[in-house]
Amino acid sequence: MYRAPVADIVFTLNHVAGLSEATENGTFGDLSGDLVEAILTEAGRFASEEVAPLAEIGDRQGARLADGAVRLADGWADLYRRWSAGGWNGLTAPEAFGGQGLPHMLNVAAFEMWNSASMAFAIGPTLTVGAIEALEAHGSQALKDTYLARLVSGEWTATMNLTEPHAGSDLGVMKTRAVPEGDGTYRIFGQKIFITWGEHDAAENIVHLVLARLPDAPAGTRGISLFLVPKFFVNADGTLGARNDLFCHSLEHKLGIHGSPTCTMIYGDGRFGSEKGAVGWLIGEENKGLNCMFTMMNNARLMVGMQGVAIAEAATQKAVQYARDRTQGKAPGWRGEGMSPIIEHPDVTRMLLTMKVLTQGARAIAYSCAHAGDRAHHAQGETARHWQERSALLTPIAKAFSTDVGVDVASLGVQVHGGMGFIEETGAARLLRDARIAPIYEGTNGIQAIDLVTRKLPLSGGDHVRGFIGELKAISADVRASNHPAFGETAGRLDVAIADLETATDWLLSHQKDGDLAGALSGATAYLRLFGLVLTTAYLAKGGLAAVDNGGTDKRVALCRFSAENLLAETLALKDRVLNGADSLAAARSILD
């Protein structure tokens, strides 16, 4: 059973992402390290003791649709209400609407734990948190006054309605229509698919944020507007009124996250309401809907990245426990009686250490990304811009690298369990099934790689990424200067890998400048992984140095060394693919016809 790794999480926040320095400097007001630890300890308790025990039944029962109503798995609606009653939904929400206004990284850390305990459960609130953010940034005061407090408390939940059957990665071709009524409201007509928690029985009301196209709107993504479309109208006194003209038409039968209802939503077909058309209110300006969505996109992508971290953590814990308990054969050098625990077999040790490295690396990247966002939020001018750029640069890596890690680590977890890993009751297979969606939704990992290469590397003319690479070199220099023998070859290998990153970065920037977009895109995925691997070892090194400074054991250093000496050399192949892979890719394209 999952146990929230609160100590690891707090350590990474403080000593890798930079929270302890920020709290000591008063960057986040009177937020103290003690408070952070207290909050996360309680979140860890709730995740381990309350959420995790209901994960399996959610997977087994899924969500069930009958007569347009969706029932979550047994115990889930109550679990959600206890969770929101605990105040977890409003951790970082504005205090004016009942939230606690804490830095976002606390939410990110807490959501790691909710997702480790049950990704299908955590994905629901993830959407609500995103909607709060969009509404706060772009909603009218009237909309905020009507909806925000109930969303912050979690009494109501929210959804994001983007995808249509023919409009997924490319939202420009969506067809859902919004017709102005002349009274400030709009009538929405259309079908949206893949709507997470689009209908369920855990909250009194569901607030849908829906992208739609106004009459005569410009073609493409510049003609999309964002609307708030509640399931139930809200009366002036805050009570719920009539039902709006929208409903859940069907639920998807998915590979994983069975507990999460993935809905096809129909707006405006006249099933509900006195007049045909779902009534919605504009959020932000007409035709600027994608801008509003982008406000929360970065955080949403980071939150999905956390799902990768979360699954990896849960899978690692499970596999380590099994490998300690299961005995089979005799490992080299085993002197105990009978068979050795399989954890002693070098190949099993290798799998488990690989899982640990990737999990901790992905966590460090995601928390550093969250921290950058928080710093940007609490800064001005150049400093704010620096942290905004850091957050923007790290977001696609936090999303894509971490979710690939989630799948890879969950798959290794199945392998460690041997035949039992293939049996559903063991639970390792569920983690793999759940993990598999994260590289797809919220922008596929291929799209993240394109974003990294074409939009993030050019920030400040390439100076931001170059400055970041300089910081990584400094970490390597610190490792060398520490003279700590347990780091082994870390410094030298990190230098080589950072040089690979630098070369690949320069190549991508210069090729884009020269108009070779296809060339740059051919190696984008390889580049993103290269960046993720370098950050993994660099951040493990940063953590290792901090642990040694704090008089800790060498465990973090040993893991860093394993990362450097067993996993980091892949960067050379990845750099090679960036620099030299495009021509053979283009030449072979036609064999697919």
Catalytic site residues? 442
Site for a second copy in 440-459 (CB under 8 A): 440-441, 444-446, 449-450
d(CA 115, CA 373): 21
The piece of 132-140, 227-235, 288-296, 319-327 that touches a second copy (CB under 8 A) is: 319-327
- DSSP classification of residue 438: T
Closest approach of a second copy to the CB of residue 516, in Å: 9
Is 415 a binder of a second copy (CB under 8 A)? yes
- Nearer of residues 542 and 561 to a second copy, judged by Cβ: 561
- DSSP classification of residue 592: G
Is 363 a binder of a second copy (CB under 8 A)? no
Closest approach of a second copy to the CB of residue 350, in Å: 6
Is 421 a binder of a second copy (CB under 8 A)? yes
Per-residue burial over 222-249, b = 16 or more CB atoms within 10 Å of its CB, e = otherwise? ebbbbbbbbbbebeeeeeeeeebbbbbb
Out of 53, 101, 168, 492, the residue judged to bind a second copy by CB under 8 A: 168
d(CA 469, CA 490): 17
Is 590 a binder of a second copy (CB under 8 A)? yes
d(CA 485, CA 393): 33
Is 219 a binder of a second copy (CB under 8 A)? no
- DSSP classification of residue 112: H
The piece of 136-144, 167-175, 393-401, 464-472 that touches a second copy (CB under 8 A) is: 167-175
Spatial CB neighbours of 460, under 8 Å, sequence gap ≥ 6: 389
The piece of 178-186, 195-203, 272-280, 323-331 that touches a second copy (CB under 8 A) is: 323-331
Asked if residues 311 and 115 have their Cβ atoms less than 8 Å apart, the reply is yes
Closest approach of a second copy to the CB of residue 329, in Å: 4
- DSSP classification of residue 552: -
Asked if residues 302 and 296 have their Cβ atoms less than 8 Å apart, the reply is no
Closest approach of a second copy to the CB of residue 336, in Å: 14
Spatial CB neighbours of 579, under 8 Å, sequence gap ≥ 6: 503, 504, 507, 523
H or E element, residue 186: strand 185-196
Out of 364, 437, 538, 545, the residue judged to bind a second copy by CB under 8 A: 437
The piece of 94-102, 176-184, 303-311, 486-494 that touches a second copy (CB under 8 A) is: 486-494
Out of 488, 492, 503, 506, the residue judged to bind a second copy by CB under 8 A: 488
Closest approach of a second copy to the CB of residue 441, in Å: 7
The piece of 115-123, 127-135, 293-301, 571-579 that touches a second copy (CB under 8 A) is: 571-579
Closest approach of a second copy to the CB of residue 495, in Å: 15
Is 155 a binder of a second copy (CB under 8 A)? no
Out of 31, 310, 343, 498, the residue judged to bind a second copy by CB under 8 A: 343
The piece of 28-36, 38-46, 96-104, 416-424 that touches a second copy (CB under 8 A) is: 416-424
Closest approach of a second copy to the CB of residue 285, in Å: 25
Is 470 a binder of a second copy (CB under 8 A)? no
- Nearer of residues 153 and 163 to a second copy, judged by Cβ: 163
- Nearer of residues 179 and 548 to a second copy, judged by Cβ: 548
Token pair recorded at residue 589: 């394209």
- DSSP classification of residue 256: S
Closest approach of a second copy to the CB of residue 100, in Å: 34
CB atoms within 10 A of CB 515: 9
d(CA 441, CA 320): 29
- Nearer of residues 254 and 377 to a second copy, judged by Cβ: 254
SS3 for 164? strand
Asked if residues 526 and 578 have their Cβ atoms less than 8 Å apart, the reply is yes
Out of 128, 298, 402, 411, the residue judged to bind a second copy by CB under 8 A: 411
Query: What is the pattern of x (binds a second copy, CB under 8 A) and - over residues 499-538?
Result: ------------------xx--xx-xx-------------
Spatial CB neighbours of 231, under 8 Å, sequence gap ≥ 6: 199, 205, 206, 207, 208, 243, 244, 246
Closest approach of a second copy to the CB of residue 168, in Å: 6
Site for a second copy in 178-207 (CB under 8 A): 193-194
d(CA 123, CA 300): 10
Is 57 a binder of a second copy (CB under 8 A)? no
The piece of 115-123, 145-153, 181-189, 352-360 that touches a second copy (CB under 8 A) is: 352-360
Going by C-alpha positions, the residue among 367, 383, 440 that lies closest to residue 407 is 440
Is 301 a binder of a second copy (CB under 8 A)? no
Is 33 a binder of a second copy (CB under 8 A)? no
Measured CA distances, 357 to 19, 197, 556 (Å): 21, 33, 10
Asked if residues 105 and 73 have their Cβ atoms less than 8 Å apart, the reply is no
- Nearer of residues 273 and 341 to a second copy, judged by Cβ: 341
Is 589 a binder of a second copy (CB under 8 A)? yes
SS3 for 426? helix
Asked if residues 67 and 130 have their Cβ atoms less than 8 Å apart, the reply is no
